[in-house]
Structure 1
Amino acid sequence: MDRVYLDNAATTFPKAPGVGEQMKYYIEYIGSNIKRGNYSTASSAEEVVFDTREKLCRLFNFKKPENVIFNMNVTQSLNFLIKGLLKPGDHCIVSSMEHNAVMRPLMQLKKTGVEFSRIPCDSKGRLNPEDISNQVKHNTKAVVITHASNVCGTILPIEEVGSICREKGLLFIVDTAQTAGILDIDFERAKMDALAFTGHKGLLGPQGIGGFIVTDNVADIMEPLVSGGTGSLSDSEEVPPFLPDRFEPGTLNLPGIFGLNAALSYLEKEGIENVRRREMELADMFLKGLHDMKGIALAGLEGIEGRTAVISIDFINKDNAEIAYNLEKNYGIMTRCGMHCAPSAHKTLGTFPQGTVRFSFSHFNTQKEVEYTIDAVKKVIRG
C-alpha cells in the first residue's frame, strides 16, 4: 500500500466529502465578510455561519445558536474559557489525563495565584467521579476535563462528573477534541456549562476552525481575552455585551466555517452512531491482532468498551520513534509517536518518558488497511 493514514487523533484525513468544494466556493464566489456589509454575498455568508451554529446545536443538544462561538481550535477555546473564568484565589480541578491545551493555561495561571488539583486516574486512564468530591475546596470554581484521552482513547464519565459539579455548584467545562463527531455528546444531559470543540478532528472539517459553547451564566462572568471590531455597536469603544459578538472580535475564518458546515451535513447524513460503529469495528480488529503479540505493551484498555479508536503501543526495549519511522518509511503507515502533548496522561499510563506509537482510526479506514498494519507491526518487532 502506498499510504495508510492512522493519525486521525491529530487531524482526520480524508475530510468529509464536500469540505474542500465548499471552501473553494466561498473563496471564489462569496468572499465577503459578515456583520459588516448589507449586500447579498455578505448575507449569504451570514446564513451559512448561522446554519453552522444551528448544526452544532443539534449535534451537542444545545438550544441557543448565538451562544456558539467560533475561533481557531479547541486549544484557543480552552484558553478563552480557563483564562476568562479563573481569577487569582480560585481553585480548579482537572484529571490526570489532560492535554496541554488545559495544563499549560493552568500552569500560566498558577503564577498569578490560581490553584488546581489533579485527580489521579488509574493505569488504564479511567476516572472515578467520586474522587472529585474529595478535592472540592472552599474556593473551587470549576472542573475542566477531557471527554476522552488523546493518548489511549479511554473515555471519561462526563455525565457523572457533571452531576457532581451541579450538586457542588461548580462550573463544568469539557474538552471534546477527541469525541465531537464520534460520541453522542449531550450538553444538557451532562450538565455542562461550557464545551470546547475543534473542527478538524472527529467533525471531519478543515484546520483553523473550532470554538466553544457557553451558557448565558458563563458568558456573563467570563472576561473576553481578545477584543476589537465586531461590526456591531460600532459607535462604542466598549466590548458588546451580547453573544456571539462578545467573544468573536475581528474577521472569522469563513472558508473554515463553510468547510465545517459541509462536514456537519455529512455527519448528520451518516449518523454519529454509524461512524462510531465502523471505527470501533476497525479498532476491535486491530486490538485482537495485537493480542498476545510479543514485544509490545498496550497503553490503556484492552477491549473496545469505554474507549475510542485511539490505540497506543509501547514497543518494549525498542525506540518508539524509530518504530514509527520504519512504519512510515517501509510500509507507508502514518502514526504519531511521542508524548502527544499529554505528559500527565503518559505518567498515569506508565509510558513516561518513552511515550508510545499511537494508531488512531477513522471510519474511512478499511479492514484491509488494518490487516496490513497488523502484519507490519509484527515485522518491525522482529526487526
Structure 2
Amino acid sequence: MIYVNNAATTWPKPEGVYQQINSCMRDFGYNPGRSGGVGISRIERDIFNVRTKVAKLINAANSSRVIFTSGATEALNLAIKGVLRKGDHVITTELEHNSVLRPLRKLEKSKLIELSIIQIDQKGRLNLKQLEEEIQENTTLIVTTHASNVIGSIVDIKRIGGLAHNRGITYLVDAAQTAGVVEIDVEKMKIDLLVLAGHKSLYGPPGIGVLYINEGIELDTLIEGGTGSDSLSTYQPTILPDRYEAGTLNTMGIIGLGAGIDFVLETGIAQIRAEELRLTKRLIAGLKKINDIIIYGDLEMEARVAVVGFNLKEIAAADLGYILESHFNISVRAGLHCAPLLHQALHTKKIGMVRVSFSYFNTEEEVDIILEALSKIANNKEEFGL
C-alpha cells in the first residue's frame, strides 16, 4: 500500500519509536509517582527528559510548562476553556479544525464568549487586516492554526504573535500540522499557548499530545484527580506540570514521542521539510497536467506544508478516494477533514476534497504511481463508474 495520509497520522514511524515503546512496555512501564520507588526513578527520569526535548524543539525556557495530554484535541480544549472567562471576545479563522471550532462554538452558544472568524481567500490565505480590525476592548484570545490540515497553507504566526503581544492578547497556536517539519520558536514568535500532536510530524504514537503554557499564563483545569504529588490535599496541586496532568500518564506514548523527537532533531527539521516539499512540488507539477484536476491552496512551496488538497472536476471526493484505494492500493484522505468553514469558503462542502499528505518516508516513485493512477481515472471515468 502507498500511504499518503500523514496529515492524519504519520506511518510508518522511525524504527527507534517502535523500539523505545517496546522496551518501555516490557522493561520499565511503571506508573510514575505511584510505584513506591520500584523502578520508578528510570521512568520519571525518562519522562522528564522528553519534556526537555519538547522544550528544546520549540525553544521554551522552562520544561515544567510542557503539559502532556491525550492528544492535540484535549490540549486545545484545556487551553481554550482554561483561559477564557465570561464576556471575553475571541478571534479565530476559517482555516481551523473542529478541535478549535467546536469548543469555541460551545462557549459561544452558552453565551459565555463572543466570537469573530477571519475569512480566507480562494488560495486559503488569511486576511490579516481583517484580523487586526476585529480586535475589541474585550478581546482576550486569538486562536489560529499554524498550517491548514486540508490545503497546507501556512499562517504567519510570527506576525500574528507580535500583534497579539503588542495588544496584550493571549495567542494560542495549533501546530498539529507543523511541529517537526517547520521551525517553531515560542519566544521569537510571541506564542503564549502552543499545541502539538505527538503522532503526526513528530512521529510519536497516537494518544499523546502537548500543551505548552508560557510564563505568565494562568489556566483553569479541565479535569482534576490524582497526580502522585501533594496527596494529603483534596485540592488540585498548583505546581506545574502536575496541575494539568491528573490521572495516569500515557507513559508509552510519552516515551514514543521522545523517540520521535530524537528522529526529528537528528535528521533536522530543515532536511525533513526540504524532502517533503520536493515530493509536494513533484505532485503538484504532475496534477497540473491531468485533465479536470482542481488544486486548492497557495501553490508556492514556501507558503505551505506537504499537504495537497485537490478534486477531479464534478466527482465526489469520497468516490475518487475509494477508487484510489480499491483499484490502486493508495491510501489518501477524502472528505471534509473536520474543517467545515474552510470547505464552505472554498465551495467544496458538497463534494469534499481529496488530500494527499507526505512524510519523510514517502518516495518519488510513490508520487509517480499516484499521478499515473489519477491520470488513468481522469481519462477513463466510465471505466471506473464515474
TM-score w.r.t. structure 1 length?
A: 0.97
Q: 1:356 aligns with which of 346, 353, 359?
A: 353
Q: 1:315 aligns with which of 312, 319, 322?
A: 312
- What SS is found at the alignment partner of 1:103? helix
Q: 2:295 aligns with which of 288, 294, 298?
A: 298
Q: 1:80 aligns with which of 78, 81, 84?
A: 78
| Residue 125 of structure 1 pairs with residue 93 of structure 2 | no
Q: Aligned-pair distance for 1:38?
A: 4.7
The answer (yes or no) to whether the contact 1:83–1:225 under 8 Å persists in 2 is yes
Higher deviation after alignment, 302-311 or 276-285: 302-311
Q: Aligned-pair distance for 1:40?
A: 5.0
Q: Aligned-pair distance for 1:294?
A: 1.5
Q: For 1:140 and 1:353, locate their aligned partners in 2 and report how far apart those are by CA, in whole Å.
A: 34
Q: How does 1:256-275 map onto structure 2 within 5 Å? A: 256-275=253-272
Q: How does 1:140-159 map onto structure 2 within 5 Å? A: 140-159=139-158
Higher deviation after alignment, 290-299 or 96-105: 290-299
Q: Aligned-pair distance for 1:216?
A: 2.9
- What SS is found at the alignment partner of 1:305? helix
Q: Aligned-pair distance for 1:58?
A: 0.8
The answer (yes or no) to whether the contact 1:17–1:266 under 8 Å persists in 2 is no
Output the amino acid matched with 1:211. V
1:108 matched to which residue of 2? 106
Q: For 1:31 and 1:155, locate their aligned partners in 2 and report how far apart those are by CA, in whole Å.
A: 38
2:37 matched to which residue of 1? 39
Output the amino acid matched with 1:262. A
1:65 matched to which residue of 2? 63
Q: Aligned-pair distance for 1:258?
A: 1.0
Dislocated runs of 4+, deviation >6 Å: none
Q: For 2:127 and 2:161, locate their aligned partners in 1 and report how far apart those are by CA, in whole Å.
A: 13
1:334 matched to which residue of 2? 331
- What SS is found at the alignment partner of 1:257? helix
Q: Aligned-pair distance for 1:293?
A: 2.2
Q: Aligned-pair distance for 1:349?
A: 2.3
The answer (yes or no) to whether the contact 1:19–1:263 under 8 Å persists in 2 is yes
The answer (yes or no) to whether the contact 1:78–1:175 under 8 Å persists in 2 is yes
Higher deviation after alignment, 146-155 or 113-122: 113-122
Q: For 2:355 and 2:61, locate their aligned partners in 1 and report how far apart those are by CA, in whole Å.
A: 36
Q: For 2:61 and 2:35, locate their aligned partners in 1 and report how far apart those are by CA, in whole Å.
A: 28
Q: For 1:111 and 1:287, locate their aligned partners in 2 and report how far apart those are by CA, in whole Å.
A: 41
- What SS is found at the alignment partner of 1:18? helix
| Residue 377 of structure 1 pairs with residue 374 of structure 2 | yes
1:139 matched to which residue of 2? 138
The answer (yes or no) to whether the contact 2:149–2:337 under 8 Å persists in 1 is yes
Q: 1:224 aligns with which of 221, 224, 227?
A: 221
Q: For 2:163 and 2:133, locate their aligned partners in 1 and report how far apart those are by CA, in whole Å.
A: 11
Deviations 1:347-378 (A, max 9, x none): 22232221101000111001100011110010
The answer (yes or no) to whether the contact 1:88–1:112 under 8 Å persists in 2 is no
- What SS is found at the alignment partner of 1:204? coil
Q: How does 1:245-264 map onto structure 2 within 5 Å? A: 245-264=242-261
Q: For 2:33 and 2:22, locate their aligned partners in 1 and report how far apart those are by CA, in whole Å.
A: 21
Deviations 1:37-95 (A, max 9, x none): 35252110011111100101111010111000001110110000111111221110001
1:280 matched to which residue of 2? 277
The answer (yes or no) to whether the contact 2:321–2:332 under 8 Å persists in 1 is yes
Q: 5+ residue gaps in structure 1?
A: none
1:93 matched to which residue of 2? 91
The answer (yes or no) to whether the contact 2:316–2:352 under 8 Å persists in 1 is no
Q: For 2:308 and 2:40, locate their aligned partners in 1 and report how far apart those are by CA, in whole Å.
A: 44
Higher deviation after alignment, 285-294 or 331-340: 285-294
Q: Aligned-pair distance for 1:292?
A: 3.7
1:366 matched to which residue of 2? 363
Q: For 2:228 and 2:305, locate their aligned partners in 1 and report how far apart those are by CA, in whole Å.
A: 41
Output the amino acid matched with 1:37. S
Q: Aligned-pair distance for 1:131?
A: 2.1
TM-score w.r.t. structure 2 length?
A: 0.96
Q: 5+ residue gaps in structure 2?
A: 382-386
- What SS is found at the alignment partner of 1:298? strand
2:198 matched to which residue of 1? 199
Q: Aligned-pair distance for 1:268?
A: 1.1
Q: For 1:227 and 1:312, locate their aligned partners in 2 and report how far apart those are by CA, in whole Å.
A: 40
Deviations 1:177-207 (A, max 9, x none): 1001110011111101100111000001100
The answer (yes or no) to whether the contact 1:129–1:157 under 8 Å persists in 2 is no
| Residue 209 of structure 1 pairs with residue 211 of structure 2 | no
Higher deviation after alignment, 34-43 or 257-266: 34-43
Aligned residues: 379
The answer (yes or no) to whether the contact 2:28–2:39 under 8 Å persists in 1 is yes
- What SS is found at the alignment partner of 2:76? helix
Deviations 1:223-250 (A, max 9, x none): 1010001111111011111100000011
- What SS is found at the alignment partner of 1:173? strand
Q: For 2:29 and 2:357, locate their aligned partners in 1 and report how far apart those are by CA, in whole Å.
A: 35
